[in-house]
C-alpha cells in the first residue's frame, strides 16, 4: 500500500482517508480510539473531519469529532506527527458562525486547533461555497494562517468547475495561495458532478482530489439489494433514489467483479475510485474493526482493466 502525493501540497496521504464524521456519533469515544489506533497500525495516515461534525446527531454539538481526535492525540504522545489531519470551516454552526469571511475563519481555526489539541492543521478546507464572501478575502485569511503556521495547505469542498477556476484566477492575480485540493462528492453512481470539466481542471492544475460519499451513503456496500431492504427504515430517504435501473445495473456489476476478486462490493467500489484519473484518495468510514480491515483490503485491491471497464460501463449515464 503506497501513499500518494496530494496535488502540490507536498503531503503524502494514504490511498484511503478515514472519514471522521463517525467519531462521537456512531462510534463512541472508546471505539473511536480503537479505530484510530488500528488505522495507523494498518499503514494508513490520513484523517478527515470538520468543525460541524456531528451537530446533526441528537445530543451532539458541532466540534464533537474534532474533540474526540484531540483527546486521542493527547492520549497518544508522538502520534500527531504521524497523521495527515484534514478539517474544514464554513458550514453553519450558528447564525453568526458560518461562511468564509476573514473574521470567521480567524475565529474558527483557533476553535478547531483547541478542540484538536494541536498547533497546526495539515489541510484546511473551505467546506461550502460562500457567495457572500469574495475569494480574495477568504484566500487572504488563509494566507495569514499559513504565515502563522496554523495551517500547512488549503483546499475546498463542493466547488464546481466554474467556481474552482474563478478561485484559481483570483489567487494568481492577487498573489494569494490557491486551493490545492478539492473534496467533491464522487462514487460509482454519482459521477457527473465531478467527471468532465471539474476532473479535467483538477488534472490540468495538479489539484489533489479526495472524494466523499465514496460508497453513496452505503448503497454501494452491497448490504442492500433492493428497495425492500430499506423500506420503512431511516435509510429509505437517503438510498431510495439509487434503486433505479442504472443503480441495479451497478449493483449487478459490483457483485460480479467482487466474486471474481474474492472481495466485497464496498471494497470493489473503493478500488474503482482509487483507480480513477485525478483521484488521490477516497474518504471512507468504519465503525468496527472488521469494517476497517475491509478498508485495508480495498486499498490493496488492484482491479484488472476488464473489471474497471465493466464497472465504468455499468455506471455510465
Q: What's the CA gap between 44 and 2, in Å, rounded?
A: 9
Q: What's the CA gap between 280 and 278, in Å, rounded?
A: 6
Is beta strand 17-19 parallel, antiparallel or unpaired with respect to 12-13? Answer: unpaired
Residues with active-site annotation: 53
Q: Which residue has the cell 492543521?
A: 121
Q: What's the CA gap between 46 and 281, in Å, rounded?
A: 10
Q: What's the CA gap between 174 and 100, in Å, rounded?
A: 18
DSSP string, the chain: ---EE-TTS--EE-SSEEEGGGBTTTB-HHHHHHHHHHHHHTT--EEE--TTTTTTSTT--TTHHHHHHHHHHHHSTT-GGG-EEEEEE-S-SBTTB-S--HHHHHHHHHHHHHHHT-S-BSEEEE-S--TTS-HHHHHHHHHHHHHHTSBS-EEEES--HHHHHHHHHHHHHHT-----EEE-B--SS--TTTTTHHHHHHHHHT-EEEEBSTTGGGGGGSS--SGGGTTTSTTHHHHGGG-SHHHHHHHHHHHHHHHHTT--HHHHHHHHHHTSTT--EEEE--SSHHHHHHHHHHHH----HHHHHHHHHHT--
Amino acid at each position: 500500500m503506497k501513499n500518494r502525493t496530494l496535488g502540490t501540497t507536498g503531503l503524502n496521504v494514504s490511498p484511503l482517508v478515514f472519514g471522521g464524521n463517525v467519531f462521537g456519533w456512531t462510534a463512541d469515544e472508546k471505539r473511536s480510539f480503537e479505530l484510530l489506533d488500528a488505522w495507523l497500525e494498518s499503514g494508513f495516515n490520513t484523517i478527515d473531519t470538520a468543525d460541524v461534525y456531528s451537530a446533526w446527531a441528537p445530543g451532539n454539538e458541532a466540534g464533537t469529532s474534532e474533540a474526540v481526535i484531540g483527546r486521542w492525540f493527547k492520549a497518544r504522545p508522538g502520534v500527531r506527527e504521524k497523521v495527515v489531519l484534514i478539517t474544514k470551516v464554513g458550514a453553519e454552526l450558528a447564525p453568526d458562525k458560518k461562511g468564509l469571511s476573514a473574521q470567521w475563519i480567524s475565529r474558527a481555526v483557533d476553535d478547531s486547533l483547541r478542540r484538536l489539541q494541536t498547533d497546526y492543521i495539515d489541510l484546511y478546507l473551505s467546506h461550502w461555497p460562500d457567495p457572500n464572501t469574495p475569494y480574495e478575502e477568504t484566500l487572504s485569511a488563509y494566507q495569514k494562517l499559513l504565515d502563522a503556521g496554523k495551517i500547512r495547505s488549503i483546499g475546498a469542498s463542493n466547488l464546481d468547475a466554474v467556481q474552482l477556476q474563478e478561485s484559481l484566477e483570483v489567487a494568481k492575480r492577487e498573489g494569494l495561495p490557491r486551493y490545492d485540493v478539492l473534496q467533491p462528492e464522487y462514487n460509482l453512481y454519482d459521477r457527473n458532478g465531478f467527471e468532465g470539466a471539474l476532473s479535467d481542471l483538477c488534472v490540468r492544475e495538479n489539484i489533489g482530489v479526495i472524494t466523499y460519499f465514496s460508497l453513496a451513503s452505503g448503497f454501494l456496500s452491497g448490504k442492500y439489494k433492493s428497495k425492500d431492504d430499506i423500506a420503512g427504515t431511516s435509510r429509505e430517504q437517503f438510498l431510495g433514489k439509487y434503486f433505479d435501473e442504472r443503480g441495479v445495473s451497478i449493483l449487478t456489476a459490483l457483485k460480479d467483479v467482487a466474486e471474481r476478486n474474492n472481495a466485497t462490493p464496498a471494497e470493489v467500489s473503493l478500488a474503482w475510485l482509487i483507480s480513477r484519473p485525478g483521484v488521490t484518495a477516497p474518504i471512507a468510514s468504519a465503525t468496527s474493526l472488521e469494517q476497517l480491515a475491509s478498508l485495508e483490503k480495498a486499498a490493496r485491491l488492484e482491479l484488472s482493466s476488464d473489471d474497471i471497464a465493466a464497472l465504468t460501463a455499468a455506471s455510465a449515464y
